[in-house]
Chain A
Amino acid sequence: MKHTHSVITVSGVKKVYRMGSNEVFALRGVDLDVAAGEMIAVMGSSGSGKSTLMNILGCLDVPSEGRYVLDGVRVDGMSRNQLADLRNQKLGFVFQGFNLLARTSALDNVELPLLYDRTGQKRDTKALAAQALARVGLGERLDHHPSELSGGQQQRVAIARALVTSPTLLLADEPTGNLDSRMTVEVMALFQELNEQGITILLVTHEPEVAQYAKRIVVVRDGRIVRDHAVADRHDAAADLRALDEEQAKQEQQLEEAA
């Protein structure tokens, strides 16, 4: 953590959807401030408005009302193209379903955001993509296609794709939703490691145990933030992973003894 300026400043953000003559409030006034270097979990049940909040924070949607400043840039009121460029420059997305391009190598998948870069600064796209894959521990699997990788590995490719542009903020939407418990811990360990390296991470989840790996938890209900607190007993994913390994080793030993 070099300096603690605000990455996200949201004030009075509302989102209204019109369903015929009805107005549906997805967000009823949200204030949120996320500083650089934070790892924050947004929790809430379905219909709470957390997806809408995620979409707005991810610059995929604009608020109906209120201010959103991302890394010093005013987002509300931007055009589609400006939003696209902002997503490319400042954000990295990790989705529940991995959302990798099928029949496309890991390297090409990770390279993709760089191909949409309009600043012209990121020249050696293949090398940058390879670096990002090495950073998530997949430096040896550049040519593998998603179908040849496990769920956890696919999610790591997705994380590499999110990291390759050196974004200000990493947004993860239910990143462990499609993973078993061991892969979940693996991915969370990677997130914690990246956060230690100074990357700001915001993850949306409905699993309390996943949220426990974050530093701060925000709970959304009925379009409002109802709780916002620091995590008291934060879990260390790396330690949990070691514990899982030991347990497995013990089980295997018992099986051998029984045999």
Chain B
Amino acid sequence: MKQTTLLKVASQSILKNKMRTLLTMLGIVIGIGSVIIMVAVGTGAQKSIETSIKSLGTNLIIVMPGSFTMGGANQGAGTFSRLTIEDAEKLKAQGTLLAAVSPVVSTRTQVIGGAGNWRTQVQGVSTDFLAIRDWTLASGDFYSEADVRASRKVAVVGKTVADKLFPGEDPVGAQVQLGRVPFTIVGVLSPKGQNAGGQDQDDVVLVPHTTAQSRLSGNVRIGQILASANSPEELPAAQEEIATIMREAHRLAPGADDDFTVRNQTEIASAATSTTKVMSGLLAAIASISLLVGGIGIMNIMLVSVTERTREIGIRMAIGARGSDVLTQFLVESVVMSLLGGLIGIAVGYGGAALLGHLTGWATAIPASAVALAVAFAAGVGVFFGFYPARKAAALNPIQALRYE
């Protein structure tokens, strides 16, 4: 039989039972749809992680508080900070592989001034911070070493904070209150956008770490220390150096556990990637189960169809159809059905990815190769699950098929 005739016959019989065809295709639609959404989210996440790794800073190293053991029970990382400003100063002074070092003293405070008030993250950092985070100023200047040493009440605000409190104006020179302490705004940071975790990096106020410690947090301990290595190649060596200096500073006996953790930006990024990997894995599982169930659905309906059309098969055989003709006919039918489901699934996937992106703000991207793969997969499911019913049809005895009521 000619290909066009085969396709015509297949589409005719598919159209005869519209509702049934639709329900049968649903499994494939969901399966292919989730494959597309999965790929869209995965690819989008990877792209945004790549950009956010860049936005973290250059050759960034983060020193965080380590685990702390109390009475033999390990309390886990970050439960109790032993990091101090002195640690940061030692790293700055002794680190030969470190280009810049800054302590980070974090608190959340209400910022009052200008058009109203806004609750935000206040970070006490040194003048090295801008270089570490590879950040620039949109207007004004960063505070100076002298400001830090003198614990002056000066602040540099992020774009989001500036927009909230001083919409449409340049806040440089304006007074704000951080909690109850008045500060003078000396600069505005250029916008950086979201980080890998979806946090707004521009929703921040930077003040000298000395001022933050004495006026805002009142705590000697600090949350973390940021540093940057001279070059990407020196990152591991720089991490080693930090560890050595820190152990010495904390007077840790040889063999004792570190009471701090040193991470570089790729390690942080890989943590973010693993989250999306779990997400993608979950969707892949849904997709494959759905495709399997959809395929079984197609097989089931094709078996019903073969039984229903036993007489038709008998007629076709009596007038000269070979077994292979009947096999091809039913195979084409199941492939057309699953391909149609696949195409609808791709459309659903595009829609779903767009909707998901709109609702969650996740970046999504669908590469053409994924669409091609989905089409191939749908066709494969059609062939695989259509083969058994088609072979059953082809093996029918024409005499019995003709008598079938």
Contact = CB atoms under 8 A, between A and B. Distances in A.
Interface of A: 55, 58, 60-61, 80-81, 84-85, 87-89, 93, 95, 99-101, 103-104, 112-113, 115-117, 161, 165
A116 B319 contact: yes
A197 B62 CA distance: 100
A148 B319 CA distance: 23
B315 A101 contact: yes
A60 B399 contact: yes
Contact of B320 (A61, A88, A99, A101): A88
- Max chain A C-beta neighbours (<10 A), residue from B5, B315, B317: B315
Contacts of B358: none
Contacts of B322: 80-81, 84-85, 116
Contact of B315 (A55, A80, A99, A103): A99
Contacts of B2: 115
Contacts of A112: 316, 319
A99 B321 contact: no
Interface in B312-334: 312, 314-325
A248 to B, nearest CB: 35
A99 B1 CA distance: 20
A161 B315 CA distance: 11
A89 B318 CA distance: 11
B215 interface: no
* Category for how many chain B residues contact A: 20 to 34
B318 A116 contact: no
23 contacts: A55-B399, A81-B322, A84-B321, A84-B322, A85-B322, A87-B317, A87-B318, A87-B320, A88-B319, A88-B321, A93-B319, A99-B311, A99-B315, A101-B312, A103-B12, A112-B316, A112-B319, A113-B319, A113-B320, A116-B316, A116-B325, A117-B320, A161-B319
Contacts of A85: 320, 322
A58 B398 CA distance: 11
Which 6 pairs, one residue from A and one from B, show the smallest C-beta to C-beta distance?
A88-B320, A116-B320, A113-B319, A84-B322, A99-B315, A87-B320
Contacts of B320: 84-85, 87-89, 113, 116-117, 165
Contacts of B16: 103
A115 B5 contact: yes
B402 interface: yes
A190 B5 CA distance: 31
A146 to B, nearest CB: 12
Interface string B283-302: 00000000000000000000
A58 B318 CA distance: 8
A46 B197 CA distance: 82
Interface of B: 1-2, 5, 12, 16, 311-312, 314-325, 398-399, 402
- Max chain A C-beta neighbours (<10 A), residue from B16, B318, B320: B320
Contact of A80 (B12, B312, B323): B323
A238 to B, nearest CB: 29
A70 to B, nearest CB: 14
Nearest to A171: B318
A89 B315 CA distance: 15
Contacts of B315: 99-101
A95 B325 CA distance: 22
A112 B312 CA distance: 12
B1 A116 contact: yes
Nearest to A117: B320
Contacts of A89: 320
B317 A99 contact: no
Nearest to A104: B12
A186 B12 CA distance: 33
Contacts of B319: 87-88, 93, 112-113, 116, 161
Given A81-B322, A88-B319, A60 B398 contact: yes
B5 A95 contact: no
A117 B319 CA distance: 10
A115 B317 CA distance: 12
Given A87-B317, A88-B319, A113-B319, 20 more contacts: A55-B399, A60-B399, A80-B323, A84-B320, A84-B321, A84-B322, A84-B323, A87-B318, A87-B319, A93-B319, A99-B311, A99-B315, A113-B320, A115-B5, A116-B1, A116-B319, A116-B321, A116-B325, A117-B320, A165-B320
A128 to B, nearest CB: 14
A55 B312 CA distance: 17
A100 B323 CA distance: 20
Contacts of A104: 12
A103 B315 CA distance: 15
A117 B320 CA distance: 8
Contacts of A161: 319
Contact of B399 (A61, A84, A100): A61
A84 B318 CA distance: 7
Contacts of B323: 80-81, 84
